[in-house]
Amino acid sequence: MQASDPVLDIRNLRAMLPGEAGPITLLDDVSLSVCAGETLAVVGESGSGKTMTFRCALGLAPAAARIVAGQVLLEGQDLTSLGPEAMRERRGAVISMIFQDPLTALNPVFTIGSQIAEVIRAHRRIGRAAARALAIDVLRRVHIPDPARRVDDFPHQLSGGMRQRVLIGMAIALNPRMLIADEPTTALDVTVQAQILELLTELRRESGMGMVLITHDLGLVARHADRVAVMYAGRVVETGTVDEVFARPLHPYTTALFRSIPSLEGAAAEMLPAIEGQPPMLADLPPGCAFAPRCFLGRDRADCRTIRPPTDAAVQGTHVSACLHANLIAAEAA
Amino acid sequence: MSATIAARKLPARRRPVPRFLRHPGLVVGGVLLLLLVLVAIAAPVLAPYPPLATDLMNTLSQPSLAHPFGTDQYGRDVLSRLIWGTHVSLEVALAVIGLSLSLGTAIGAIAGFAGGWIERGVMALNDILLAFPGFLLALALVAARGSSLQSVIIAIAIAYTPRVATVMRSVVIVIRPRPFIEASHAMGMTATRVLLRHVVPNALPPVIVVATISAASAILAEAGLSYLGLGIAAPTPTWGNVIADGQGVIASNPWISLSAGLCIAITVIALNLVGDGLRDTLDPQMRRQTGAGLL
């Protein structure tokens, strides 16, 4: 890890949603940081708070959700203290986010060129012709063939992979310092996935921006990320470099995730071990560790059932886990 | 994935214009409407007599070569009055579309996009207007302002604005949660820009259809008001006035009222054909069902 200051530093972020039966904690003490030129993968199942963390960071959370504690430092400045207009000025220019479904994330009634130009013109005072020239340049940077002609295409004339390239182009048009890619390849087929991730990696190297890759796919994490954060029920349960986490996970949830990946070795007919039970409802979290009821370690331990573990319960250098019994994992999992 | 494949199958770079020409109703309606517009514009040239010129030696004449639809009780040429009436009717229709479309779109878009108490307040007012019979509203307004072309236009526009607003709001509510709207916010666009550039253009097609069909009702409403003597004051040639003039002599000279009624019917049919055609061609789901766009 470089000694440089992180571009994005989320500190102890806590977000609540008012519910009928009292407030629901969406995010609980979430801390994540990304340095320049680095890719942080955020993994976890649906509803674990991966997307919500970054929506809150960008001021794009649902209107009812409230950030009740914590800071989101973007190049040292706390975004949670900014007004909506100052926040808007940073979105798309300093910190960009791209979404899961490229098929519906473009406006069907305008050409892709005009939509890229639109983003540029939302942040810079330049004329139409200049914005169009920049849009063509952006299309070239995301490797769209024949950009001068494609700039006048409508979204329906492009394939899913091309549309995701256009969206990435919109996100990086103003050279942001930080790019949040929320499952950028989930809606695409596997060959296109690889191309899109190569493109993202290339753009990150060229510009030195920091990148967050939100994904379910642990294979992608291994190939494209430097560090990984595992989220469960609105908390970060484990963070570390990809090598550390993949070689020796320090949280039972991470271990269970790895075990549920099919392997090329082993009997084909063998059932994959699934994680038992259901992810907890955020409105009804158990009092102790949220994973305890499904955990091979904590299921029968009184402390796991009653004490909510601090997010840094086990620390080995840069490798941090929120498990009270991290030292037992390797032995138990074997 | 299937959407990707479908998108690839489309012939490259097809412009939407030919699709409109493949819809028979839209073509017939469009041609009729175009002819009516030409007649309205060229009224001074086309009309064989001045619309107000009376010929007291030749009242209530039967149709002849000189007067194809005969003359009325003041000896005015009915055809000339109908040709000038086209001008008035289309002017009313166009002004009503313009006013109710711009007002209704703005009201509906702001209500639907803002949500919360703004939406509730605006839509409550809108519903009150909607529940009030439009014709009664028009009657009251004409009674208060006096009968003139302007009064008629304003009255009918006020009556139709809530309909446009209702449709606009419901379409905006459907569009608001779509991913490209969220993506626009994520790219740092201002709310106004998102509304004007992304929400409104996507919401317009159904609203245009409603406006076109409203134009037909506007022409009917103008004729109705004129017929009751509350529309555009008597000597001015409008279709409603011609019907009213012919009403007393309908037994002996049926052409007068009938020809004016026919003009109204043709215009209303033309507008409805265009409205239906636009609905079929602008709405991809309808297009798939009717197959009109796939020929």
Residue of B nearest to A97 (CA): B186
Asked whether residue A334 carries a pLDDT value surpassing 60, the answer given is no
Contact status of A333 with chain B (Cβ, < 8 Å): no
Cβ pair A189:B1 closer than 8 A: yes
Residue of A nearest to B202 (CA): A109
Q: Exposed, middle or buried by CB within 10 Å (0-12, 13-18, 19+), for A4?
A: exposed
Asked whether residue A189 carries a pLDDT value surpassing 90, the answer given is no
Cβ pair B12:A157 closer than 8 A: yes
Contact status of A103 with chain B (Cβ, < 8 Å): yes
- With respect to residue A35, please indicate whether it lies within any of the assigned structural domains: yes
Of the pLDDT bands very low, low, confident and very high (cuts 50, 70, 90), residue B152 is confident
Residues of B in contact with A160 (CB under 8 A): 1, 3-4
pLDDT of A72 reads 94
What ipTM goes with this model? 0.81
* Over residues B234-259, mean pLDDT: 86
Q: Under a CB-based contact definition with an 8 Å cutoff, are residues A274 and A261 in contact?
A: no
State the smallest CA–CA distance between residue A296 and chain B in angstroms.
38
Asked whether residue B7 carries a pLDDT value surpassing 80, the answer given is no
* Over residues A9-28, mean pLDDT: 89
Q: Under a CB-based contact definition with an 8 Å cutoff, are residues A310 and A235 in contact?
A: no
Of the pLDDT bands very low, low, confident and very high (cuts 50, 70, 90), residue A9 is very high
Torsion-angle region of A234 (φ positive above 0: left; ψ -120 to 50: alpha; else: beta): left
Asked whether residue B294 carries a pLDDT value surpassing 60, the answer given is no
Say which residue, A9 or B130, is predicted with more confidence: A9
pLDDT tens string B277-287 = 888 877 655 44
Same domain membership, residue A84 and residue A191: yes
Q: Where are the beta strands (DSSP E) in chain B?
A: none
Helices (H), A180-301: 190-207, 218-224, 242-247, 252-259
Domain count across chain A: 2
Q: Which helix (H) or strand (E) holds A117?
A: helix A112-123
Which percentage of chain A shows pLDDT scores above 70? 95
Query: What is d(CA B212, CA B94) in angstroms, rounded to the nearest whole number?
Result: 10
Torsion-angle region of A183 (φ positive above 0: left; ψ -120 to 50: alpha; else: beta): left
Query: What is d(CA B182, CA B53) in angstroms, rounded to the nearest whole number?
Result: 63
Bridge partners (DSSP) listed for residue A96: A179
- With respect to residue A160, please indicate whether it lies within any of the assigned structural domains: yes
Asked whether residue A166 carries a pLDDT value surpassing 90, the answer given is yes
Q: Which residue, A215, A54, A107, A167, is CA-closest to B178? A: A107
Residue of A nearest to B200 (CA): A109
Same domain membership, residue A163 and residue A182: no
Q: Which helix (H) or strand (E) holds B225?
A: helix B200-227
Same domain membership, residue A89 and residue A169: no
Please name the member of B7, B185, B197 whose beta carbon is closest to the beta carbon of A156: B7
* Over residues B107-115, mean pLDDT: 91
Query: What is d(CA A251, CA A129) in angstroms, rounded to the nearest whole number?
Result: 54
Residue that finishes a domain, picked among A175, A193, A210: A175
Same domain membership, residue A248 and residue A258: yes
Of the pLDDT bands very low, low, confident and very high (cuts 50, 70, 90), residue A178 is very high
Query: What is d(CA B169, CA B158) in angstroms, rounded to the nearest whole number?
Result: 17
pLDDT tens string A315-332 = 888 899 998 888 887 776
- With respect to residue A9, please indicate whether it lies within any of the assigned structural domains: yes
pLDDT of A268 reads 63
Tell me the torsion sign for CA atoms B286, B290, B292, B295: positive
Q: Under a CB-based contact definition with an 8 Å cutoff, are residues A96 and B187 in contact?
A: yes
Amino acid at B254: P
pLDDT of B16 reads 52
Query: What is d(CA B108, CA B126) in angstroms, rounded to the nearest whole number?
Result: 9
Query: What is d(CA A290, CA A279) in angstroms, rounded to the nearest whole number?
Result: 9
Q: Which residue, A250, A230, A243, A246, is CA-closest to A325? A: A250
pLDDT of A245 reads 92
pLDDT of B287 reads 46
Asked whether residue A54 carries a pLDDT value surpassing 50, the answer given is yes
pLDDT of B14 reads 52
Please name the member of A101, A110, A189 whose beta carbon is closest to the beta carbon of B179: A101
Contact status of A88 with chain B (Cβ, < 8 Å): yes
pLDDT of A117 reads 93
Cβ pair B179:A89 closer than 8 A: no
- With respect to residue A111, please indicate whether it lies within any of the assigned structural domains: yes
Asked whether residue A161 carries a pLDDT value surpassing 60, the answer given is yes
Same domain membership, residue A193 and residue A170: no
Q: Under a CB-based contact definition with an 8 Å cutoff, are residues B82 and B242 in contact?
A: yes
Which percentage of chain A shows pLDDT scores above 90? 52
Asked whether residue B5 carries a pLDDT value surpassing 60, the answer given is no
Look-up of token digits 């138990």: A332
Residue that finishes a domain, picked among A155, A175, A195: A175
Q: Is the pTM of this model over 0.80?
A: no
Look-up of token digits 């236009």: B153
Residue A242 sits in a domain of what CATH number?
A: 3.40.50.300
Query: Which of A52-56, B5-9, B64-68 is least confident?
Result: B5-9
Cβ pair B180:A107 closer than 8 A: yes
Of the pLDDT bands very low, low, confident and very high (cuts 50, 70, 90), residue B290 is very low
Asked whether residue B254 carries a pLDDT value surpassing 90, the answer given is no
pLDDT tens string B168-209 = 999 999 998 888 998 898 888 988 989 998 999 888 888 888
- With respect to residue A48, please indicate whether it lies within any of the assigned structural domains: yes
Q: Under a CB-based contact definition with an 8 Å cutoff, are residues A17 and A28 in contact?
A: no
Same domain membership, residue A244 and residue A146: no
Residues of B in contact with A107 (CB under 8 A): 180, 184, 197-198, 201-202
Same domain membership, residue A243 and residue A220: yes
Cβ pair A160:B180 closer than 8 A: no
Please name the member of B1, B197, B202 whose beta carbon is closest to the beta carbon of A118: B197
Distances from the Cα of B214 to the Cα of A132, B97, B134, angstroms: 39, 7, 12
- With respect to residue A287, please indicate whether it lies within any of the assigned structural domains: no
Cβ pair A88:B188 closer than 8 A: yes
pLDDT of A267 reads 62
- The arrangement of secondary structure in B67-290, i.e. its CATH architecture, is Orthogonal Bundle (1.10)
Same domain membership, residue A196 and residue A56: yes
Which percentage of chain B shows pLDDT scores above 70? 89
pLDDT of B42 reads 87
State the smallest CA–CA distance between residue A223 and chain B in angstroms.
24
- With respect to residue A323, please indicate whether it lies within any of the assigned structural domains: no
Q: Under a CB-based contact definition with an 8 Å cutoff, are residues B213 and B272 in contact?
A: yes
Please name the member of A97, A106, A160 whose beta carbon is closest to the beta carbon of B186: A97
- With respect to residue A327, please indicate whether it lies within any of the assigned structural domains: no
pLDDT tens string B16-31 = 556 677 788 889 999 9
Asked whether residue A86 carries a pLDDT value surpassing 70, the answer given is yes
* Over residues A43-54, mean pLDDT: 89
pLDDT of A270 reads 67
A residues 24-63 lying closer than 8 A (beta carbon) to B = 58, 60
Contact status of B1 with chain A (Cβ, < 8 Å): yes
A107, A114, A166: best to mutate for the B interface, most B CBs within 10 A: A107
Asked whether residue B2 carries a pLDDT value surpassing 70, the answer given is no
Residue B267 CB partners (closer than 8 Å, separation 6+): B32, B33, B36, B86, B89, B90, B93, B216, B219
Query: What is d(CA B219, CA B92) in angstroms, rounded to the nearest whole number?
Result: 7
Query: Which of A5-9, B67-71, B98-102 is least confident?
Result: B67-71
Q: Across chain B, what does the average pLDDT equal?
A: 83
pLDDT of B269 reads 93
Same domain membership, residue A232 and residue A126: no
Please name the member of A60, A156, A189 whose beta carbon is closest to the beta carbon of B186: A60
pLDDT of B249 reads 85
Cβ pair B188:A60 closer than 8 A: no
Residue-level length of chain A: 334
Residue that finishes a domain, picked among A144, A175, A206: A175
* Over residues A21-45, mean pLDDT: 91
For A236-272, b where at least 16 C-beta lie within 10 A, e where not — what string? bbbbbbbebbeebbbbbbbbbbeeeeeeeeeeeeeee
Same domain membership, residue A134 and residue A40: no
Same domain membership, residue A135 and residue A4: no
What residue segments make up the domains of chain B, in order of their start? 67-290
Query: What is d(CA B292, CA B23) in angstroms, rounded to the nearest whole number?
Result: 6
A252-259 vs A326-333: helix crossing angle, rounded to 10? 30
Same domain membership, residue A247 and residue A203: yes
- Residue ranges making up the domain that contains A148: 106-175
Residue A42 CB partners (closer than 8 Å, separation 6+): A32, A50, A53, A212, A213, A214, A215, A228, A229, A231
